Structure 1
Amino acid sequence: KVYSFHMTLSYSRDPFCCFTTGQDLATFFDCHRLAFAHFGGVPMSIVYDRTKTVVRRHVAPGEAVPLHPEAVAFAGHYDFDVDVLAAYRPQGKGRVERQVGIVRDHVLAGRAFSSIEEINAAFAAWVPLRRAKVHGTHGEVIGHRAVRDHTALRPLPTTPYLVAQRHLRHVGKDCLVAFDANLYSVPARKIRPRQLVEVRATKSQVTLHSTIADRDGQTMLAVHPRAVGRGARIVDETHWDGLPTGAGRRVTTGDDLPSPRRGQPLRAADGPLQALLNKAAAAHVEVSRRPLSVYDELTGTRPFTTNAPTKEAH
């Protein structure tokens, strides 16, 4: 399935669009970086609907909208304000909603594409045609008005902000952490089973952090490339140093159990419990024999009778 990301400059209606195969947090803000590079700067504010990549949870009308921590960090790095629309009000950003239909009709309709890159290239080839049009609302050529729009944009920062998904996970007894249907290892000597660790995942990398800093103020436990697909095990074998190796394991058939005291064999005379643990000794244990009526007499279920049939009880 292919999704499209759209950003439109409000003053000039200068459009940007790119196509992706995912809607996760990292992909969403990667599209922002592509849009900023396309426009040559960063707008002062961006209007969003209540998508889960921007809004942490929904609230009642009139209450302050809690933003996703990564959205706040991304906006702070690129120095723009986040403006969230009221719920179920897509007409509040109609200028970008209109672009969705325009791109579909003028770039995608009646054509077939073999890759995401081919679709993005088709949009890039169409942009000059769009900028040459006179917009029906503001009555100016979109490209001419876009020049003034671009000069008002803020400059891009020197370093990009890498968005990371953050999750808390428990460490298994085998010092593996499950994330996104895959397993990643952490050093066995630095963690304990069932310890809670933080997973920070970008599109290409997974880092695992302790929730408490060490003496040097560091929290990072391990760094792995992000697995592709599901069911993968990304393991650094040095992380298993400190786990039980299984050396010295032995098995027995039960006939000759290990001696409880070094150098002395196990005997039935050592005690009834030890004798029962030995199959050979258990075969010679004497069993008491008494009639079942004795149990009836003790429990009071019926009078004691000496003529009752006798059965062996073990």
Structure 2
Amino acid sequence: MSKRKIEMHHYRQALLRMRQGDSDRDISRSGLMGRRTAASLRTLASARGWLAGDLAAPDDATIAEGLAPAKRAATTVSSLEAHRERIAAWLGQGVSGVVIHTVLKREHDYTGSYSAVRRMLGTLKRAISPQTTVRLSFAPGEAAQVDFGAGPFLEHPAGGPRRTWAFVMTLCFSRHQYVEFVWDQTVATWLGCHRRAFEWFAAVPARLIIDNAKCAIIKACIHDPQVQRSYADCAEGYGFKIDACPPHDPQKKGIVESGVKYLKGNFLPLKTFLDLADLNRQAKAWVMDEAGTRRHGTTGEAPIDLFALERAVLLPLPGVAPDLGVWSQATVHPDCHIQFERAYYSVSFTLVGKRLWFKASDGMVTIYHEFKPVAAHARAFKAGERRTVKDHLPPDARAFFAHDRAWCVEQAVRIGPACAALIERLLADRIVERLRAAQGVLHLQKSYPATRLDAACARALAHESPFYRTVKTILAGGHDLQADTWAATAPEPTPHSGRFARNAASLFAASTTVQ
């Protein structure tokens, strides 16, 4: 098993392939996991009935529950490393492994096993043996090869010239192509090109041979490449297998390499393009009218003619196109949001500081915690735009946002006319924002009856001191309960009184309410 961490979606991909009849060796070759890990997963799946084709595949949480913690493989150094040059010289002289082992034990105090000698000899033989190449042949519908190639510079909509990139998918049997020029090589672009290529062919190859581009392979490795989670979902949705070439070995996808070279040498020269849309229109016409009808140098036939035979054995398109969302990870900020492409999406305040997976499709962003969706938002496309659900915020923040100006007016009307007039005065202040003061006045009803609060507000208005501190002082001193003649002679409240006049009135009220 590889030292890298195997994500849960890798186990799901392997399980789906087991249900389709793939062996542990097939799964190992695909790069999802090693044969031992696949064998352990198969044992677990058999015991739990996950391989039954008539039952629904288990979800991530169920698979995670059944898996034991993976053990990390130990790194070892050959006990013969100090004798490498000596063994290489003996190998060049034709000395057998048994003799080498005997001499090492007798003359060099070697105490290791013969297996170590055999492994060392195998490593040395592979290093000195000449490299050979074999032309690969493919059955109809078996595979396609995919690659990016540099395209011409065009004027970008955002301004200035920018290089384009040619996405090319070539069917290995017929050599029929799909060509699309794009501005970048992001994961979203990569997935979108695949969708449009399959729609162009109206079918899906059984296997896609790809390079180790970051939009498809996170970590390149000859045995255990780490596939982008988004691309793995695409493969699962369309039913094809991902076959990543070994690092630094482009010969494994020589068919599409030749196709990209042919595109650059025969389509791009001496042509002019108005924009990206015009470039793609001309490219598709060239594929059908010239590249597809030419006599191919390897097959000896026109790619379109061979494609007519190959189409019948390609995989059909799914009835419903899969959602090709981009998977990524982000840490929840202290403000209860994660960031994706300079936009912000809220999650529960209980997840602050955690690193979560999320899936961004064309119209939605769905956020997951422990394999379960915890939030879903409409996609934001403007930098700085925020998608916030108030229920995701802490309780005190939710209460603050819920008690807005409209709420204050509504609550004041329920308490009484004097309270409504005082709240209106507070909210109408043109210099100072008094929303918190209005909220404070209304929260006094938790400690005092509504009738007393309304009477205190009336007394504060009569003394031209419509402030939270005045109302609270009146209630605390019980002055709202005094029989007084101020109510009959009190002037009408003036919602837009001057700031300094109110300040003077408040000083007068403070001196009279304690009498």
**Deviation sequence 1:34-54 (CA, Å, 0-9, x none):** 111111211111111122233
SS in 1 for 2:254: helix
What does 1:146-165 align with in structure 2 at a 5 Å threshold?
Answer: 146-165=307-326
The yes-or-no answer on 1:29 pairing with 2:183 is no
What does 1:110-149 align with in structure 2 at a 5 Å threshold?
Answer: 110-127=270-287, 128-149=289-310
Partner of 1:231: 384
Distance 2:316 2:190 in 1: 21
The yes-or-no answer on 1:64 pairing with 2:224 is yes
SS in 1 for 2:335: coil
Corresponding letter in the other structure for 1:208: I
Change in Cα spacing, 1:65 to 1:240, as seen in structure 2 (3 Å) is closer
Corresponding letter in the other structure for 1:13: R
Partner of 1:92: 252
Partner of 1:282: none
In the superposition, the TM-score normalised over structure 2's length comes to: 0.43
Partner of 2:365: 206
Distance 1:146 1:222 in 2: 42
Change in Cα spacing, 1:233 to 1:100, as seen in structure 2 (3 Å) is same
Partner of 1:54: 216
Change in Cα spacing, 1:192 to 1:102, as seen in structure 2 (3 Å) is closer
TM-aligned CA deviation for residue 133 of structure 1 = 0.9
Corresponding letter in the other structure for 2:281: A
TM-aligned CA deviation for residue 13 of structure 1 = 0.9
Aligned partner (choices 192, 197, 205) of residue 43 of structure 1: 205
**Deviation sequence 1:220-245 (CA, Å, 0-9, x none):** 323122324x4333445675584533
SS in 2 for 1:32: helix
Over the aligned positions, Cα root-mean-square deviation in angstroms equals 3.0
Asked if 2 retains the 8 angstrom alpha-carbon contact of 1:45 and 1:81, the reply is: yes
In the superposition, the TM-score normalised over structure 1's length comes to: 0.68
Asked if 2 retains the 8 angstrom alpha-carbon contact of 1:170 and 1:196, the reply is: yes
Corresponding letter in the other structure for 1:200: K
Asked if 2 retains the 8 angstrom alpha-carbon contact of 1:201 and 1:226, the reply is: no
- Structure 2 unaligned residues grouped into runs of 5+: 1-162, 402-435, 441-475, 478-515
**Deviation sequence 1:156-192 (CA, Å, 0-9, x none):** 111112222223333333332222232223465xx45
Distance 1:132 1:170 in 2: 52
TM-aligned CA deviation for residue 111 of structure 1 = 2.8
**Deviation sequence 1:67-121 (CA, Å, 0-9, x none):** 2333232222222222221111112211111121222233332333233222111
TM-aligned CA deviation for residue 196 of structure 1 = 4.2
Asked if 1 retains the 8 angstrom alpha-carbon contact of 2:360 and 2:379, the reply is: no
Asked if 1 retains the 8 angstrom alpha-carbon contact of 2:346 and 2:375, the reply is: no
The yes-or-no answer on 1:80 pairing with 2:233 is no
SS in 2 for 1:166: strand
SS in 2 for 1:83: strand
Asked if 1 retains the 8 angstrom alpha-carbon contact of 2:362 and 2:379, the reply is: no
Distance 1:57 1:199 in 2: 20
Corresponding letter in the other structure for 1:105: G
Where does structure 1 differ by over 6 angstroms across 4 or more consecutive aligned residues? none
Distance 2:343 2:335 in 1: 14
**Deviation sequence 1:264-291 (CA, Å, 0-9, x none):** xxxxxxxxxxxxxxxxxxxxxxxxxxxx
| Residues paired across the two proteins, number | 245
Aligned partner (choices 375, 387, 394) of residue 221 of structure 1: 375
SS in 2 for 1:194: coil
TM-aligned CA deviation for residue 22 of structure 1 = 2.5
SS in 2 for 1:108: coil
Change in Cα spacing, 1:235 to 1:114, as seen in structure 2 (3 Å) is farther
Asked if 2 retains the 8 angstrom alpha-carbon contact of 1:49 and 1:85, the reply is: yes
What does 1:182-197 align with in structure 2 at a 5 Å threshold?
Answer: 182-186=343-347, 191=350, 193-197=352-356
Change in Cα spacing, 1:192 to 1:77, as seen in structure 2 (3 Å) is closer
Change in Cα spacing, 1:231 to 1:65, as seen in structure 2 (3 Å) is same
SS in 1 for 2:219: coil
Aligned partner (choices 79, 92, 104) of residue 264 of structure 2: 104
Distance 2:246 2:357 in 1: 33
Change in Cα spacing, 1:106 to 1:81, as seen in structure 2 (3 Å) is same
